[in-house]
Amino acid sequence: MPPTPRPPSQTPATPLLAAFLHRDSASPARVPGQGLVEYSLILVLIAIVSIGALTLVGSRTSRVFEEINCRLSGGTLHIDNGNGNSMRCRT
């Protein structure tokens, strides 16, 4: 469908604006599989955030379970952050 001509008083001032105003009203063409790629990118982003969160929280969670295990066995947890043997249960 060709664009309808406008009277001179309504003609846009720039060619870019003219191209925008006379564009087709149909939505842009979608490539087959485009939705799949978008969902894949979202899934990858969620995976990266999840791995980061578990990495940060994982060491703290491990320490809590070590302390619970040690206290249930009747000992106290000794934490020494410098010699490689950071968590030891002393009974």
In a domain, 20, yes or no: no
86 in helix, strand or coil? coil
In a domain, 8, yes or no: no
Q: What domain range is 55 assigned to? A: 36-91
In a domain, 75, yes or no: yes
pTM of this structure: 0.41
Condensed to tens digits (0 to 9), the pLDDT of residues 31-62 reads 777 788 899 999 999 999 999 998 888 878 88
Q: How far is the C-alpha of 10 from the C-alpha of 35, rounded, in Å?
A: 39
In a domain, 23, yes or no: no
Condensed to tens digits (0 to 9), the pLDDT of residues 1-10 reads 666 666 655 5
Q: Spell out the residues 6+ positions from residue 88 whose beta carbon is closer than 8 angstroms to its own.
A: 77, 78, 80
- The total number of structural domains in the chain stands at 1
